[in-house]
Structure 1
Amino acid sequence: MTLTAEPHNARTGRGAEYIARAAQAATVIETEANAIEQAATITDTAFKAIADAGLFWILVPEEYGGAGLDIVSAFKIVQEISRADGSTGWAFMANACSMGVAVGFMNQDGAREIFAPPERGITAGMIVPTGSAVRVDGGYRVTGRFQFASGSAHASWIGAGFVVHDDAGNPIVDAEGTPDCRIGFLPRAEVEFLGNWDVMGMVGTGSYDYRVEDRFIPDRFTMETFSTVPTRPESVYELGLLGIGVGGHAPVALGLAQRALQEIAGIVENKVRPGYSTVVGDSELFRLDFARHEALYRAARAYVYEAFGDAEATAAAGGEISAEQRARLRQTATWAQEVAGEVVTFAHRWAGSATVRNPSALGRCLRDAAVATQHALIDRMTLVEAAADIVPAYRR
């Protein structure tokens, strides 16, 4: 793939400024990691570090007081926060990417009301259309029970995906039989949280269940679930709902892999094991294994940022993102999870008992990576689907 243009923020250095802010926030998050897992959500201290740095709004346009970053800069921030703590990185990704989707595709009157100062709203919630709604004057009345509201404990607006029904309770479909699916955002006070987050990994994401009961959502706070036409002019939104929303899982995986490599490099420095003539870190067997997995991590990191940077650059140059480019976005989002799983497992095997006793940063990486791979939108079938548009590029 050849870069056709360079995203605006990569040229100006604005992205580098926010990446540096993320590194500062990460030092606070690392010290809070144990407390975050115990609380099953981001602590107030960690939240303040992220919010005070302006990081939640990295994909919100500068017009609304956000950073207005390109996708690669935004994803590097997600990676850094995830390196500090996987749960915080996942929840932060869910917030930042859902805001990118909302502000890029929502009615701009509604987007301005949610995101522009002084409100500077933060969104979270399940946008898959599992709820139902009826059309009423000026909006929709929505009902549904939803799961996996990552980052919802500190969100001010909660998303709810729904299918529009007629008065008889039948889904409204178009001429091709496609249901009318939409996403709406409600003020936090209008949502009932149900808890139900007791899990093995990604414990601190606060991915609670919640209920919306016959609530009115004005048109200005809604958007089409499968819209392909952004309401904003910035090239980043041309990546689409899947490119932004699903793509954000890739840098979380990269952060987990990076942290696992950092942890195991320190653990084996003085680790002694039966059968080794020197400390484990100096053994040829460990060094061979480390070199292979470190290369795998770097390859995944390079490909993720190449694929997303290339797609956004095409849009920035006025071109249309191709089917192959979009397929590569899906490919990298899933493949990065597989790489993280391999790298973290490698580190765990060499760590011995260092991951067994809690608290353990590497133990958290292991459990977080195991949960991350289970997300429905990064199932291996996405690779099958992506291959259909990637294989032709190799045919002559």
Structure 2
Amino acid sequence: MTHTLVPATEADGRTAALLAAVRLQRPAFEGAALRAEEERTLPEDIVTMMRDLGLFWLKTPTELGGSELDPISFCDVLEEIAYYDASAGWAAMIGNGTTGCIAAWLADEGIAEIFTDDPLPIMAGQFTPRGSAIADGDGFRVSGRWSFSSGILHSSWLVGGCRIDGTDELVLAVVPKSEATVHDTWHVAGLQGTGSHDFSLTDVHVPAARICRWFGAAPKRGGLLFRQPQLLFLANELSPVAVGIARRAVDDMYEMAAATARGPRGSVLADRLAFQKDISVAESRVRAMQLLYRDAVAQGWEIARTGADASDVLVSRLRAQHTLIVEECLDVVSRIFRYGGGRALSLKNPMQRHLRNLTAAMQHVYISDENYEVAGRARIAEVAAGRP
């Protein structure tokens, strides 16, 4: 039984059709979940299906062949995929965010090289500046090593954050995967199916056309979607994945409750008052987190639609909300996990996968106590300045 806590935003016919197509693939997503963990990356047939549905280009400008969904519609689709399989949802999240940024911000010459008519590229990488770029003729020599490049095995292009040597300028270097060394590092306890390996570059020449000046720059193409504050353009992706996983954990625990008893004379879990209370609280908390992330995403979208300036206070507050959402989803699943008994420890039991996957999601660079510190500091300064 599936409980959709908040109806999807389906006013746009494209979104309704896309959601319907994703829901038809539920058996495929769910059937491949264990295979993805065993292979430590999404199985090839799942990647092919997601390509065919356009699920890696929901945040790519329409002029390049993408869907350019509004943020709420995007979250609807991402949450739905994550409900079926966390690794597929995560891979869609990374593929969309990385590809979408390059698609909107890279110079025209680079776009002409990368975005051919068919197939559109899937990108992986890391924006954190772990590399250096040294001026070299008509481009730069790039070296560095980047971790957590989710989806790298099914991606064709890689993106690495760099600092231009001798300056404070940060850029994104875009290279064909064939020019990188992929390191088999993804031996982990959660989100195993995401293929989040490291990659490195050693003195690779990157033409200036494939050096993306993304940090703090205006987009070169695309509509209102790309006028959101840059940090919100990326940070709003994690919450729907976390909520999708937590929703599924609650539903799976409901399913387990009727058949789970403690000891030969123990009461059936579904009949225990403590469980009835805790599962209801869990479902309410997940619903609250779903509403909270949709509110945060809507606020970022409103900034883009109205052209209003985004204050540091607002952006930091919304990032703090996204941090809270992931933390709460993990806590919800942690609290109901104990009701699964010994069965929940089985590597084939979905409850332990939900717990591990959310624990792994909490380690993402965008989910940090520092987000609360920044938000609190900004608000304290605002109050001290006499602004309500």
Opposite residue 34 of structure 1, the aligned amino acid is: L
* SS, match of residue 286 in structure 2: helix
The equivalent position to 1:210 in structure 2, one of 199, 202, 225, is 199
1: CA distance between counterparts of 2:220 and 2:240? 26
- Equivalences for residues 131-146 of structure 1 within 5 A: 131-146=131-146
CA pair 253-143 structure 1, distance change in 2 beyond 3 A: same
The equivalent position to 1:197 in structure 2, one of 165, 174, 186, is 186
TM-score (normalizing by structure 1): 0.89
Given the alignment of the two structures, is residue 37 of structure 1 paired with residue 37 of structure 2, yes or no? yes
The equivalent position to 1:351 in structure 2, one of 340, 343, 346, is 340
* SS, match of residue 189 in structure 1: helix
CA pair 119-136 structure 1, distance change in 2 beyond 3 A: farther
Contact 2:252–2:350 under 8 Å retained in 1:
yes
Aligned equivalent of 2:22:
22
* SS, match of residue 158 in structure 1: strand
1: CA distance between counterparts of 2:35 and 2:43? 7
Opposite residue 135 of structure 2, the aligned amino acid is: R
Aligned equivalent of 1:92:
92
Contact 2:142–2:203 under 8 Å retained in 1:
yes
Residues 88-118 of structure 1, C-alpha deviation per residue, up to 9 Å, x if partnerless? 2112211111112212222134235423512
Given the alignment of the two structures, is residue 361 of structure 1 paired with residue 344 of structure 2, yes or no? no
Aligned equivalent of 2:232:
243
Aligned equivalent of 2:212:
223
Opposite residue 157 of structure 2, the aligned amino acid is: W
Given the alignment of the two structures, is residue 342 of structure 1 paired with residue 336 of structure 2, yes or no? no
Contact 1:315–1:321 under 8 Å retained in 2:
no
Opposite residue 302 of structure 1, the aligned amino acid is: L
Superposed CA RMSD: 2.2
Contact 1:25–1:53 under 8 Å retained in 2:
no
Deviation for aligned residue 1:344: 1.3
Residues 148-173 of structure 1, C-alpha deviation per residue, up to 9 Å, x if partnerless? 111111001011111111xxxxx31x
The more displaced of 199-208 and 340-349 is 340-349
Q: What is the total number of aligned residue pairs between the two structures?
A: 377
Segments of 4+ in structure 1 off by > 6 A?
A: none
The more displaced of 102-111 and 121-130 is 102-111
CA pair 240-187 structure 1, distance change in 2 beyond 3 A: farther
Contact 1:158–1:188 under 8 Å retained in 2:
yes
Deviation for aligned residue 1:230: 1.9
Aligned equivalent of 1:65:
65
Residues 273-313 of structure 1, C-alpha deviation per residue, up to 9 Å, x if partnerless? 25987421132211111111111111111111111122212
2: CA distance between counterparts of 1:367 and 1:119? 34
Which structure 2 segments of 5+ residues have no match?
Answer: 1-8
Opposite residue 24 of structure 2, the aligned amino acid is: Q
2: CA distance between counterparts of 1:368 and 1:316? 34
2: CA distance between counterparts of 1:224 and 1:204? 31
Given the alignment of the two structures, is residue 387 of structure 1 paired with residue 370 of structure 2, yes or no? no
Opposite residue 269 of structure 1, the aligned amino acid is: A
1: CA distance between counterparts of 2:112 and 2:238? 26
2: CA distance between counterparts of 1:72 and 1:275? 48
CA pair 331-108 structure 1, distance change in 2 beyond 3 A: farther
Aligned equivalent of 2:4:
none
Opposite residue 160 of structure 1, the aligned amino acid is: G
The equivalent position to 1:312 in structure 2, one of 297, 301, 317, is 301
Aligned equivalent of 1:370:
359
- Equivalences for residues 86-165 of structure 1 within 5 A: 86-165=86-165
* SS, match of residue 56 in structure 1: coil
Deviation for aligned residue 1:123: 0.4
Opposite residue 359 of structure 1, the aligned amino acid is: K
Contact 1:115–1:122 under 8 Å retained in 2:
no
1: CA distance between counterparts of 2:279 and 2:116? 46
Opposite residue 51 of structure 2, the aligned amino acid is: A
CA pair 14-329 structure 1, distance change in 2 beyond 3 A: farther
1: CA distance between counterparts of 2:378 and 2:75? 24
* SS, match of residue 87 in structure 2: helix
TM-score (normalizing by structure 2): 0.91
Opposite residue 60 of structure 1, the aligned amino acid is: T
Contact 1:248–1:333 under 8 Å retained in 2:
no
2: CA distance between counterparts of 1:357 and 1:132? 44
Opposite residue 352 of structure 2, the aligned amino acid is: G
* SS, match of residue 319 in structure 2: helix
Deviation for aligned residue 1:341: 0.7
2: CA distance between counterparts of 1:270 and 1:43? 32
Which structure 1 segments of 5+ residues have no match?
Answer: 1-8, 166-170, 173-178
* SS, match of residue 376 in structure 1: coil
Aligned equivalent of 2:77:
77
The equivalent position to 1:180 in structure 2, one of 169, 184, 197, is 169
2: CA distance between counterparts of 1:395 and 1:276? 62
Aligned equivalent of 1:175:
none
Aligned equivalent of 1:6:
none
Contact 1:327–1:390 under 8 Å retained in 2:
no
Deviation for aligned residue 1:245: 2.3
Given the alignment of the two structures, is residue 232 of structure 1 paired with residue 221 of structure 2, yes or no? yes
* SS, match of residue 218 in structure 2: coil
Residues 240-294 of structure 1, C-alpha deviation per residue, up to 9 Å, x if partnerless? 4321223311111111111111110100122222598742113221111111111
Deviation for aligned residue 1:32: 0.4
